[in-house]
Amino acid sequence: MQINIVLNGKKIQEEIEPDMLLIDFVRNHGCKSVKRGCETSGCGLCTVFLDDKPVLSCSILAARVDGHKVTTLEGLKEEAEEFGAFIADQGAEQCGFCNPGMIMNALALFRENEFPNEEEIKEYLAGNLCRCSGYEGQLRGIQNFLAWKKEKRGEEVSCKL
């Protein structure tokens, strides 16, 4: 079957097998940030944006995205690098395997809620599995990033971690 999608801003028309998963499609197109983890929709490693909303690419057939826009971490390079530096600064990227999915979901959170509180951050990122850390480094990185954004805007920051 033939599909037409926009992947990271590039129009792609391709013949695919009807049972091809979106994760395989994007990886076949060089998007190696999209990782295969649990294959049961439980770890968040395969997160991509489908029409600017986070979805798990291991759970969606590529045929279902026909006519839609898919964005991976490769398509968000500047935004991801800016935020990712705060995660790295906290040593929260020990093996780095979970980082792409974690970053994709954090960016989605910031788009929905520019300055979430700690509870909102934890709730939003609950579906991301990290086997190396206790998530505290990621949480500190996110909080430091948000404090930096507020400071950059000239807003008062209540506490810096």
Q: What is the C-alpha to C-alpha distance for residues 71 and 9, in angstroms, rounded to an integer?
A: 8
Instruction: Indicate the pTM of the whole model.
Output: 0.86
Domains in the chain (CATH in brackets) are: 2-74 (3.10.20.30), 76-153 (1.10.150.120)
pLDDT in tens, the chain (161 residues): 999 999 999 999 999 999 999 999 999 999 999 998 887 777 888 999 999 999 999 999 999 999 999 999 999 998 888 888 888 887 766 666 678 888 999 999 999 999 999 999 988 888 777 766 667 778 888 999 999 999 988 766 555 44
Give the tokens for residue 55.
């979805």
Q: Would you say 12 and 5 are in contact if contact means Cβ atoms under 8 Å apart?
A: yes
Burial class (CB in 10 A: 0-12, 13-18, 19+), 98: buried
Q: Would you say 138 and 92 are in contact if contact means Cβ atoms under 8 Å apart?
A: yes
Residue type, 24: D
